[in-house]
Amino acid sequence: MIRPIAIVFLLIAVQFPSTASATVLPSDTVWAGEVIVSEDVLVPAGITLTIKPGTTIRVALSDSTKMEPEFMSPLTEITIRGRLIAEGTKDAPISFNRVEGDGAGSWAGIIIDGGTAYLKSCTIQGAETGVYALNGALLVEDSLITKNQYGLVAEDKKTSAIIRNSLVTENDCGLLSLNGAGTDTSGSIISGNKKKDIYSSTAREHQRPLRQYSGDNKEPVRRYGDEVLLTDTIWRGNIEIDGIIRVPERVRLIVTPGTVVEFKKKDTNGDGIGENGLLIQGLLIAKGTLEKPIIFRSAEKDKAAGDWDAINIMNSNGAQNLVEYCQIENAYRALHFHFSRVMVNGAVIRNNYRGIQFQESSVEIRGSALYGNKSGVRARDSELVFEDNDVSGNYRGIDLFRDNLTARGNRLMSNLMEGVKVREGVSIFKENFIDGNRYGLMVTDSYYGNFERNALTNNAETGFSMKNMDNIEVLGNYISGNGFNGISVQNVRATIRGNHISANRERGIGIISFDGTITGNNLAKNGLYAIGLEGPGDVSAPLNWWGGDDLEKVIFDKNDESSRGQVLHERASADPFPYEWPFRTVPADITWGGDIVVQSATTVTPGSILTILPKTRVEFAEGSGLSVRGKIIAEGDRGGKITFTSLQKKGASDWDELLLDSANGSVIAHCVFEYATWGVHSHFTGLTVSDSLFRKNYGGMRFMSGPVEVKHSIFEGNYIGLRSYKGKALITENIITGNEIGIFVREKGGGLTVNRNNIFANSRYGIRVGDANDEDVNARENWWGTGNPSDAIFDGRREPDIGLVLYEPYLKEPYTLPENK
């Protein structure tokens, strides 16, 4: 039986236009008969929504751009954090559909967010996602999921989705299983979906350190209830708030470094959201430091998102409000501004429903970390400077509407939905790293936009989705490893130039309609096509490098299906265009191919893997180098060496080195190192170097610790071929010649085994033992050229108190490298 209050609510909802406010069910609720859902419905934890057999649920469209923080979608949604039981029968099924007509994507769908749902004999249609399960348990039996954009999505390894004896058909995509979700589709049919039936993708888990600050747990020096601060107020120490603190106009609240502000949870309306917080109408100066940050958090013992309301800043657009080196957590909205000027600098914003929300404001957000929120940033009609931030592990990253955005140097990674979503407005978007999200960057309805030198990588669906845009530049981006398309384009006029678009699972660029130019790009090794054209219009794509592939095979257009337009690909480039890596780091799993230019010292961060494809050339600018603290897999092959060289190719020490520091598991094979100070420099790394050539460097390779294996390689024309410092290494079956010093053993040479090498014609010594080395070096069974091997050795025989090179027995004939056999 439907509760009277619910009936009244639903009837009123039918009578009046939909608004953005929504319904949180306060107690167990039953739906039956005909139910019109015109607002978001949230079933919170501890509450059960039961739907009787034969119930028809019609969900109205949402025409508002607002989305309250506790909800998941801008479309009308039914979100389950408690329990949903929708048990229809064969004769009395339950139906979920949009209010009017057919067509997918009008309402959000049923979202299981940490809750459980049992759906039996249900039909679900007309939604963006029929059922989306995230961190929850879903059981669907004897049901039909049809005519949605996505039929079913299960995400995250804490999710279990069992679909039994059901039909998932005529959706755009049938079933998506992401990031380790457990799915069981026994007895179900998932077929006849327009784009794909089943798709699975799991982003590699990155153990990126998450910034956090800590604060004292001392007794409060001051406790507040509801209060208005009538004069400037300075907070120090621990402050406890059980009310709303209002700071009126012309008054300042100054929070000093090291202050801890805790909010007790007060929930008078039972919606689960705390109401205490700050309302700033004057000015907030919360100026922490790295050594003494400021903490805003819940006062509850078991802290959770929504324990307190927000730091609200309203109509404060004179001087700049400052929120610096603050950690804000457990709020409904950590920061919320209207008509204000605010800087957020060095902040940690985590475990809130929404991190930062604002409208009609001027905002700078710099050097901050936003993670574990339902949404990171949501803003409209504002100016936003967004630089050097980490936005990761949120449900949604950044969602902007009609904003003037300058975004530079940010990392937007591993957000469950989109990394960045922009609608309308002006965007200058440069040198950002967007990796491992479900959707990378989505931009619609914009007439100005510059997207330059970003990386869009390893996103589960599309890297960069553009729709209905004009006057756009897409320049010099690195777009690789995305699940569907690198770039998706619909109704866009743009210049797409100088990008490196490779190794996307389906298309490099998927086009429905495009007017503009695609030129000067590297389009290589995409799974299906470099360009896939779906619409009837022709596309201009001259002067691209197509990866050396047969153009007929990597372009899908009129030549494949007559209803489509033609990709005009004249004057294809025979060679890859040099691509300048835009970052000083490699902070995710990245694959390099073609011709990569490194302009400055660049680091592969811990946990990240840089894979370099055969035939790749990596060119280093003067003084630059690559430091690997994660892992590097540089595995060329016999027909395709990988070359590490300098841009100017003047001589040794043009560029610095390839440094491996605790980069265990790295592989270097079939590579060429030239013009470096040190080709390879290894510390504390288990490393194998094979089949490689080191030439014209100051030093070919140096290493400390190990274990290191160097084999089948050539060291020639260097000042020093190899150098060991406390190394543990096997150096075997190499050619070491034409250097000044073949091998230099600086210290602790007892860990080396040097055998079956050709060590000859080095101008000073084949092996030289350093003054600090007092251990003997095992260098048996090498070939030393003609003459006496001892003539090519500097050791304890020439200088007292340093170790000996044990060279006997030695080979009478040179060893032959496997390549030359």
Partner 1 sequence: MKLVISPSLLVFSLILVFSISCQGGATAAEPYLLKGKVTDVEGKPVEDAVIFIYQSTNTKKQPDFASPKSDREGRFRIALPPGKYWAVARVRKDEEVGPVPSRGRHSGEPAEIEMRGEGDVEKDFVVADIREIARMGAKTRREAVVMVAGRILDGDGKPVRMAYALAKKGGDLSEVPDYLSGWTDETGYYALYLPRGKYHLGAAASFPSDEGNLSFTEVIIDGDKKDIDIIMNTPFHNSQ
Catalog residues that contact partner 1 under the rule CB under 8 A.
232, 234, 252, 254, 256-257, 285, 287, 289-290, 317-320, 322, 324-325, 341, 343, 345-346, 361-362, 364, 366-367, 383, 404, 406, 426, 428, 447-450, 468-473, 475, 491-495, 513-517, 537
Instruction: Please report how close the Cβ of residue 320 comes to partner 1 at its closest, in angstroms.
Output: 5
Nearer to partner 1, 468 or 662 (CB): 468
Query: Residue 9: enclosing H or E segment and its boundaries?
Result: helix 4-15
Could you tell me which of 680, 679, 681, 684 has the C-alpha nearest to residue 664?
684
Nearer to partner 1, 469 or 769 (CB): 469
CA torsion through residues 292, 298, 303, 308, sign: negative
Distance of CA 604 to the CA centre of its chain: 15
Write the single-letter amino acid at 723. R
Could you tell me which of 422, 418, 388 has the C-alpha nearest to residue 405?
422
For residue 617, give both structure tokens: 């050339």
Q: Count helices and strands (H / E) in the chain.
A: 2, 90
Nearer to partner 1, 110 or 472 (CB): 472
For residue 148, give both structure tokens: 């949605």
Instruction: Please report how close the Cβ of residue 745 comes to partner 1 at its closest, in angstroms.
Output: 41
For residue 678, give both structure tokens: 């040190």
Write the single-letter amino acid at 672. V
Instruction: Please report how close the Cβ of residue 493 comes to partner 1 at its closest, in angstroms.
Output: 4
Instruction: Please report how close the Cβ of residue 594 comes to partner 1 at its closest, in angstroms.
Output: 23
Nearer to partner 1, 68 or 445 (CB): 445
Beta bridge partners of 555: 531
Total length of the chain: 821
Instruction: Please report how close the Cβ of residue 258 comes to partner 1 at its closest, in angstroms.
Output: 11
Instruction: Please report how close the Cβ of residue 641 comes to partner 1 at its closest, in angstroms.
Output: 36
Q: Is 593 left (phi over 0), alpha (psi -120 to 50) or beta?
A: beta
- CA distances in angstroms from 270 to 43, 85, 245, 265, 342, listed in the order given: 13, 23, 21, 11, 32
Residue 661 neighbours by CB under 8 Å, 6+ apart: 627, 628, 629, 682, 683, 684, 685
Instruction: Please report how close the Cβ of residue 363 comes to partner 1 at its closest, in angstroms.
Output: 10
Distance, CA of 634 to CA of 144 (rounded, Å) = 49
Instruction: Please report how close the Cβ of residue 531 comes to partner 1 at its closest, in angstroms.
Output: 17
Nearer to partner 1, 272 or 293 (CB): 293
The phi and psi torsions of 750 (rounded to 5 degrees) equal: -65, -15
Nearer to partner 1, 232 or 709 (CB): 232
Nearer to partner 1, 404 or 585 (CB): 404
DSSP 8-state assignment for residue 556: E
Nearer to partner 1, 494 or 777 (CB): 494
Instruction: Please report how close the Cβ of residue 346 comes to partner 1 at its closest, in angstroms.
Output: 7
Instruction: Please report how close the Cβ of residue 339 comes to partner 1 at its closest, in angstroms.
Output: 9
Instruction: Please report how close the Cβ of residue 491 comes to partner 1 at its closest, in angstroms.
Output: 5
Instruction: Please report how close the Cβ of residue 441 comes to partner 1 at its closest, in angstroms.
Output: 17
For residue 631, give both structure tokens: 């892992």
Nearer to partner 1, 11 or 290 (CB): 290
Nearer to partner 1, 135 or 233 (CB): 233
CA torsion through residues 275, 281, 282, 285, sign: positive
Nearer to partner 1, 513 or 713 (CB): 513
Where in 135-179 does DSSP place strands (E)?
Answer: 137-141, 144-146, 150-155, 160-164, 167-169, 173-178
Nearer to partner 1, 564 or 670 (CB): 564
Instruction: Please report how close the Cβ of residue 229 comes to partner 1 at its closest, in angstroms.
Output: 14
CA torsion through residues 723, 726, 729, 732, sign: positive
Strands 699-711 and 555-556, bridge-based pairing: unpaired
Instruction: Please report how close the Cβ of residue 514 comes to partner 1 at its closest, in angstroms.
Output: 8
Where in 498-608 does DSSP place strands (E)?
Answer: 500-502, 507-519, 522-524, 529-533, 539-540, 555-556, 567-568, 579-580, 585-586, 590-592, 595-598, 602-604
The phi and psi torsions of 5 (rounded to 5 degrees) equal: -65, -40
For residue 456, give both structure tokens: 């869009």
Cis peptide before 809 (omega within 30 of 0): yes
Write the single-letter amino acid at 37. V
HSE (CB half, 13 Å, CA atoms) of 405?
Answer: 34
Instruction: Please report how close the Cβ of residue 471 comes to partner 1 at its closest, in angstroms.
Output: 4
For residue 38, give both structure tokens: 């015109």
Write the single-letter amino acid at 1. M
Nearer to partner 1, 64 or 320 (CB): 320
Beta bridge partners of 184: 162
Radius of gyration of the chain (CA): 31
Nearer to partner 1, 72 or 472 (CB): 472
Instruction: Please report how close the Cβ of residue 404 comes to partner 1 at its closest, in angstroms.
Output: 4
Instruction: Please report how close the Cβ of residue 442 comes to partner 1 at its closest, in angstroms.
Output: 17
Q: Count the neighbouring beta carbons within 10 Å of the beta carbon of residue 218.
A: 9
Q: Count the neighbouring beta carbons within 10 Å of the beta carbon of residue 810.
A: 15
The phi and psi torsions of 293 (rounded to 5 degrees) equal: -75, 170
Nearer to partner 1, 514 or 694 (CB): 514
Distance, CA of 465 to CA of 475 (rounded, Å) = 15
Nearer to partner 1, 121 or 446 (CB): 446
Nearer to partner 1, 565 or 738 (CB): 565
The edge-to-edge listing of strands for the beta sheet with 41-43 is 23-24, 41-43, 77-80, 109-113, 129-134, 150-155, 173-178, 196-201
Distance, CA of 375 to CA of 421 (rounded, Å) = 12
Instruction: Please report how close the Cβ of residue 428 comes to partner 1 at its closest, in angstroms.
Output: 6
Nearer to partner 1, 326 or 769 (CB): 326
